[in-house]
Amino acid sequence: MKTLSKQQLLQIFNNAFLTRTFEEATIDLFSKGEIDGWLHSGVGQELVGSVLCTFLTEGDYIIPYHRSKSYFLARGVDPGKLLAEIMGRKDGLCGGVGGEAHIADIAKGLIGSTGILGAGMPISLGTAFKQYYENSNNITICSFGDGSVPQGAFHESLNFAATWNLPIVFICENNFYAELSPISKGMKQQDIGKKAEAYGIPGFTVDGYDVEAVHSHLESAIAHARKGEGPSLIEFKTYRWRGHYEGDPQVYRTIEEIESWVKRDPLKKIEEELLTSKIATKEHIEKIKDEIKQQINEAIAFAKASPFPDEEFLLRNVYSDDSLY
Quick count: other Cβ atoms within 10 Å of Cβ 171?
28
Check: CB of residue 218 under 8 Å from CB of residue 12.
no
Given this model, what pLDDT does residue 324 score?
47
pLDDT along the chain (325 residues), means of 10: 84 98 98 94 97 97 94 97 97 92 94 90 98 97 96 97 98 95 90 97 98 97 98 98 96 97 98 95 97 98 96 76 53
Check: CB of residue 114 under 8 Å from CB of residue 66.
yes
Indicate the pairing of strand 61-63 with strand 203-207.
Answer: unpaired
What is residue 1's three-state secondary structure?
A: coil
Distances (CA, A) of 76 to 15, 33, 109, 149: 9, 28, 11, 29
Measured between its terminal Cα atoms, the distance across the chain in Å is 57
Given this model, what pLDDT does residue 325 score?
46
Given this model, what pLDDT does residue 213 score?
97
Given this model, what pLDDT does residue 2 score?
66
Given this model, what pLDDT does residue 244 score?
95
Given this model, what pLDDT does residue 77 score?
97
Given this model, what pLDDT does residue 194 score?
97
Quick count: other Cβ atoms within 10 Å of Cβ 223?
12
* Spatial separation of the C-alpha atoms in residues 1 and 205, rounded to whole Å: 18
* Spatial separation of the C-alpha atoms in residues 115 and 118, rounded to whole Å: 9
187 backbone dihedrals φ, ψ, rounded to 5°: -160, 145
Given this model, what pLDDT does residue 313 score?
79
DSSP 123-140: HHHHHHHHHHHTT-S--E
Given this model, what pLDDT does residue 322 score?
56
